[in-house]
A and B are shown apart, each in its own frame.
Chain A
Amino acid sequence: MSKQKTATNGLLPYPVIVAATHGDVDAINAVLKHYEGYICALSTRRLYDENGCPRMCVDEGLRRRLEAKLTVKFLIFIA
């Protein structure tokens, strides 16, 4: 029951967090993967095509910037 709950509450497993903050590459990738959706959501912008129709579009530049920032910054987290 408790295990199922932790799997669904959208949090990374504790060992992954510890490994990631110590610089483990796989763990860092797992963290980036975990926040991929949120990063995309933040970097989605409303653009207008030539007919003036609004269209949601992921800003690639912003997406990479957020990813890079996260990779650099979460290392200072004290697990």
Chain B
Amino acid sequence: MKPNSHEEHKRHAFDSFCKKILRNEARDHYDEMKRQRDREVSFSELLAQEMDMLFLMDKYPSEQFNFSVLGHEVAIESEIIAQAIAALPEEKRDIILLAYFLDMTDGEIGAMLNLVRRTVQYKRTSSLQELKKFMEGNVNE
């Protein structure tokens, strides 16, 4: 028995070595699967909002409608809005573009067009009414 004790020891060591390899590898596998499960989401479970983030639409200049106001270029993508704005008289169109597309206040617009702030506000709100009428008419047709 004594001369074999080294061999006996090695056999046990080899056995536990192999089992350890297998056990740890299996554990790695299950950990990886768990990690994947935690992160993986199927397409059908995505919210519509998240789906929208997965693609981009190209913007082409030919599909936009350009208006120039006081040296600024304003591009409008929606056709119906562009038509409605084009139908406005020039001064009202400028006010609408400056107020809603260039984010200017009534006071700033007034200073640029030599108008009183109150006048700008009146023209702006009445232009909105005109736009509304125009676009509702378009939709009804």
Contact = CB atoms under 8 A, between A and B. Distances in A.
Chain A at the B interface: SS class: helix
Chain B at the A interface: SS class: helix
Contacts of B8: 14
B10 A70 contact: no
Contact of A12 (B1, B15, B26, B29): B15
A38 B11 contact: no
Interface of B: 1, 7-8, 10-15, 17-19, 21-23, 25-26, 29
27 contacts: A2-B1, A10-B15, A11-B11, A11-B14, A12-B11, A12-B15, A13-B11, A14-B10, A17-B10, A17-B14, A31-B18, A35-B18, A35-B19, A35-B22, A38-B19, A38-B22, A62-B29, A65-B25, A66-B25, A66-B29, A69-B21, A69-B25, A70-B21, A74-B14, A77-B13, A79-B10, A79-B14
Interface of A: 2, 10-14, 17, 31, 35, 38-39, 42-43, 62, 65-66, 69-70, 73-74, 77, 79
